[in-house]
């Protein structure tokens, strides 16, 4: 699994004019599921994201995790995170998992993140054309990949 994690002041996702998820301050997580991902990838990734110390403490240092704040989490599926641009200029998405594999792993990741946070997680809609609006705070943006544990 590959995740792009952005610290935000606010974020929301809409599908065909309907808002499917919205948060105030917290983390917006774009999640891509690869063909060879397993439950173990989410087992590593969800608690890692919940524990990332990227929120400022009282001294202004990034020492606090989402678990230390009342912040929200919004997860949006994004198969394009698995794109390869090695050949030419048209990206290949062959590494992305097909929906039959990706949906259960995406849904499990959301449950794991909610459990790690002890609160519900907002989401987009898997496979839909989504509009994501966000206010990046910092900006703070990290890329995590369960394959390389980074």
Q: From the candidates 79, 109, 123, 126, which is the catalytic residue?
A: 79
Q: From the candidates 78, 109, 123, 126, which is the catalytic residue?
A: 78
| Active-site residue flag, 30 | no
In 3D space, the residue among 109, 122, 2 whose CA is nearest the CA of residue 73 turns out to be 122
Strands (E), 16-145: 18-23, 26-32, 55-56, 62-64, 72-77, 122-123, 131-145
| Residue 80: count of CB within 10 angstroms of its CB | 11
DSSP state, residue 79: G
Q: From the candidates 35, 38, 80, 93, which is the catalytic residue?
A: 80
DSSP state, residue 93: -
| Active-site residue flag, 38 | no
| Active-site residue flag, 80 | yes
Chain-centroid distance, C-alpha 5: 6
Q: Which residues are catalytic?
A: 78-80
């Amino acid at each position: 699994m590959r995740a792009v994690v952005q610290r935000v002041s606010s974020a929301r996702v809409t599908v065909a004019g309907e808002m499917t998820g919205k948060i105030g301050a917290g983390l917006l997580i774009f999640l891509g599921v690869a063909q060879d991902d397993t439950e173990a990838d989410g087992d590593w990734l969800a608690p890692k994201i919940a524990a990332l110390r990227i929120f400022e403490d009282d001294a202004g240092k990034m020492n606090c995790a989402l678990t230390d704040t009342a912040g929200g989490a919004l997860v949006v599926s994004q198969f394009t995170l698995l794109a390869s641009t090695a050949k030419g200029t048209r990206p290949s998405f062959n590494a992305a998992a097909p929906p039959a594999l990706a949906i259960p792993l995406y849904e499990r990741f959301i449950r794991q993140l909610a459990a790690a946070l002890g609160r519900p997680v907002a989401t987009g809609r898997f496979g839909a054309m989504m509009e994501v609006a966000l206010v990046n705070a910092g900006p703070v943006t990290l890329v995590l990949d369960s394959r390389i544990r980074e």
